Amino acid sequence: AIPPERELCDRYGVSRMTARQAVMELVNEGLLYRVQGLGTFVTEEKVRQETGRLTSFTQDMRERGMEVSSEVLEVGADQAGPVVARMLGIEAGEKIVRVKRVRHADGRPMALETSHLLYERARGILGLDLSGLSLYEELSKSGIRIAEADQSYEAVLVNEAENTHLGVPVGSPALLIERITYDAEGHPFEYVKSVYRGDRYRVAARLRAP
């Protein structure tokens, strides 16, 4: 938090108007943000994710020197619904493994992630405590060669089912990222829906003229 206006005036020997104007400019530039009733805060630098590299959350955050942990909300076997089945190329009702986790970076929530995995390929993870493990590392150990993914991004607002997990108010901006992940043989083994906090995460890409 930055000091209150009065303190800024005293510290820098400026008028209330000047202090207010300066803070407003920094808010407009996105360097500060206001929270109703709480004060004005310095904006944290967002995690910048390069598109084009197929990485895991654990890899992404570790590369940035951030500490990774997960709150595991659910790990279990279930039957695929029609959407999940279509994404994974199986029949509705076939067995899958579902993993739902709040992904933390440096001890604070970054994303809420639900992975749906082919049961036969992923049942090895059912007994694991995933709070301190990488799903991709575990799947690799069990022989899956993670090769490619199709990924899409969509702007969404955080809803009531998500906001407490993500630690932001209902209606906060977020990115819905959906991924279908394929093994080296070109078979899909994972369909993931992740809601990433808009204030902590941004996506970047290098573009080339056609």
Q: Would you tell me which residues interact with ligand 16G (CB under 6 A)? A: 56-58, 113, 115, 134-137, 177, 179, 192, 194
Q: For the residues of 51-110, what is the DSSP string, one character each?
A: TT----HHHHHHHTT--EEEEEEEEEEEE--HHHHHHHTS-TT-EEEEEEEEEEETTEEE
CB of 43 to ligand 16G, least distance (A): 22
Cβ nearer to ligand 16G, comparing 42 with 83: 83
- Collapsed DSSP state (helix, strand, coil) of residue 185: coil
Q: How distant, in Å, are the alpha carbons of 53, 159, 198 from that of 110?
A: 19, 15, 9
Between CA 194 and CA 78 the distance in angstroms is 19
CB of 92 to ligand 16G, least distance (A): 22
Cβ nearer to ligand 16G, comparing 19 with 146: 146
Cβ nearer to ligand 16G, comparing 2 with 73: 73
CB of 52 to ligand 16G, least distance (A): 12
Cβ nearer to ligand 16G, comparing 19 with 192: 192
Strand order in 146-157's β-sheet?
Answer: 68-79, 95-105, 108-118, 188-197, 173-183, 146-157
CB of 165 to ligand 16G, least distance (A): 15
Cβ nearer to ligand 16G, comparing 23 with 149: 149
CB of 95 to ligand 16G, least distance (A): 19
87 contacts 190 by C-beta, under 8 angstroms: no
